[in-house]
Structure 1
Amino acid sequence: MPNKNTNIVVAITGASGAVYSLRLVEVLLATGHDVHLSISPAGAQVIDEEMDLRVDLDDFQAADLMLEDVSHASDSKIRMLQASAGIGTADSNVLSVEAGRVGQLKYHHYLDYNAPIASGSFLTAGMVISPCSGSTLSAVAHAGCTNLIQRAAEVHLKERRKLILVPRETPLSLPHIDNLRRCTEAGAIVMPASPGWYHGVNTLRDLVDFMVARICDQLGIDNALINRWGKEHFE
């Protein structure tokens, strides 16, 4: 049986909540996915403002995002993800990628239309725009294509692949709501950044992990990032 596709596109645009994407990238890499990352200028501004991390979009360095080396992760949840995926063992992981292989981070400039993710012929397992700004939402809803992120989203819709949008804006205007409807009707999955509180919240990381876990659920990635509702009744 051929290997399953492990390419996932992650885009960060100019809405609050960049921490969701940074944690998502950690989790995807830990489970053997190759992450194709693109960041808009407004997204870089949000990363700077919210996380005090300065990203040079023209000379990107993964270290600028302070992503943990998932091959030597100290985070217990990351280690559990690796174990369940067969990373670091002689067994094939759930994605049928080479045992012991963590994913690779590949950066694409937001104006690079020669990037592989600009074409439907480049196969992926899905795309996540998190956070998804109102302007990006509008572009996706109306097939706008003024940067690579919008083009990649258009590709995922036309190829009928998973496209997950994580808006955080509140309150929502009628145009926002209409754009959410348009995107949903076109095949996108809209997941507002509205973390639950029922899974034993002790830290901000727990709230972040709730959203990341639900995104992974939509991508079909097994994870134990959160305590799931009703789990104790079946154990």
Structure 2
Amino acid sequence: MASEPSSPWPKTITVALTGASGSQYGLRLVDCLLSAGMRVYLLVSQAGQVVLKMEADLEVPGRAGDAEAFFRDYFKSTPGQLRVFGRQQWSAPVASGSNPPDAMVVCPCTTGTLASIAAGVSTSLIDRAADVTMKESRKLILVVRETPFTPIHLENMLRLARAGVVIMPANPGFYFKPTRVEQLVDFMVARVLDHLGVPHALLPRWGDESVPPT
């Protein structure tokens, strides 16, 4: 029997952009993953589409095929490297445990999405993809963007953390003395990439000589 051809991409990462403020985190993450040679499955909620327009001036088409063409041009990705799926596209590979990605990141993650994932409610492809990632014991990272947190938010985060989900609120550090907003975005994206095992050189690491002492 002939063996299946190996994938040209070392990892496949699902990235979901939801309606929380902080769309630049998600856009930068996708850009870095593609630049590192990873394949990206991109999911954008309806509210996430609105926030992309508000925060990044991006008019993302509603149809999945058109959105894929839009983002492929935006990121200048290679053919087949970036796939975009619709919110109810249940035929997408991320909807089944027989073809799960290596990891999934919801960035930014609304507390509503957090609640749906914690409750196991799969009413959208984002919820279902997260559920599949968890049940197949793949890494799931939620970059939660909200403040302050209510007890309900905290209980949902605790429940998911106990299930092995990485809860990574969008809390950039300042020890490297950032002077631009882009550096704060890169701080969070660097932490996500570290947990995905994707090499990067976005920021100096703590303890390096290039990091100013506190």
Question: Is the TM value for this pair above 0.5?
Answer: yes
2:67 alignment partner in structure 1: 60
Query: How far off its partner does 1:168 sit?
Result: 0.8
1:78 alignment partner in structure 2: none
Query: Could you say if the C-alpha distance between residues 51 and 2 of structure 1 is closer, same or farther in structure 2, counting changes exceeding 3 Å?
Result: closer
Query: Could you say if the C-alpha distance between residues 45 and 194 of structure 1 is closer, same or farther in structure 2, counting changes exceeding 3 Å?
Result: same
1:145 alignment partner in structure 2: 122
In structure 2, how many angstroms separate the alpha carbons of the residues matched to 1:43 and 1:2? 30
2:3 alignment partner in structure 1: none
Any idea what SS the aligned residue of 1:231 has? coil
1:75 alignment partner in structure 2: none
Any idea what SS the aligned residue of 2:201 has? coil
Aligned runs of 1:119-130 on 2, under 5 Å? 119-130=96-107
2:182 alignment partner in structure 1: 205
In structure 2, how many angstroms separate the alpha carbons of the residues matched to 1:54 and 1:3? 31
Query: Could you say if the C-alpha distance between residues 187 and 26 of structure 1 is closer, same or farther in structure 2, counting changes exceeding 3 Å?
Result: same
Any idea what SS the aligned residue of 1:60 has? helix
Tell me the TM-score normalised to structure 1 length. 0.81
Tell me the TM-score normalised to structure 2 length. 0.88
Query: How far off its partner does 1:150 sit?
Result: 0.2
Query: How far off its partner does 1:54 sit?
Result: 1.1
Query: Could you say if the C-alpha distance between residues 17 and 211 of structure 1 is closer, same or farther in structure 2, counting changes exceeding 3 Å?
Result: same
Of the three residues 75, 94, 102, the one matched with 1:117 is 94
Query: Could you say if the C-alpha distance between residues 233 and 211 of structure 1 is closer, same or farther in structure 2, counting changes exceeding 3 Å?
Result: closer
Does residue 104 (structure 1) correspond to residue 81 (structure 2)? The answer is yes
CA contact (8 A) 1:29 1:103 kept: no
Aligned runs of 1:37-48 on 2, under 5 Å? 37-48=42-53
Query: How far off its partner does 1:186 sit?
Result: 1.4
Q: What is the RMSD of the two structures over their aligned residues, measured on CA atoms?
A: 2.3
CA contact (8 A) 2:144 2:167 kept: yes
Deviation sequence 1:138-168 (CA, Å, 0-9, x none): 0010101000000000001111100000011
Query: How far off its partner does 1:28 sit?
Result: 0.4
Query: Could you say if the C-alpha distance between residues 120 and 64 of structure 1 is closer, same or farther in structure 2, counting changes exceeding 3 Å?
Result: closer
Query: Could you say if the C-alpha distance between residues 158 and 23 of structure 1 is closer, same or farther in structure 2, counting changes exceeding 3 Å?
Result: same
In structure 1, how many angstroms separate the alpha carbons of the residues matched to 2:183 and 2:93? 34
Gaps of 5+ in 2: 1-5
Query: How far off its partner does 1:199 sit?
Result: 2.1
What is the identity percentage for the equivalent residue pairs of Structure 1 and Structure 2? Answer: 45
Query: How far off its partner does 1:70 sit?
Result: 6.0
1:69 alignment partner in structure 2: 76
In structure 2, how many angstroms separate the alpha carbons of the residues matched to 1:172 and 1:186? 20
Of the three residues 137, 146, 156, the one matched with 2:133 is 156
Aligned runs of 1:152-191 on 2, under 5 Å? 152-191=129-168
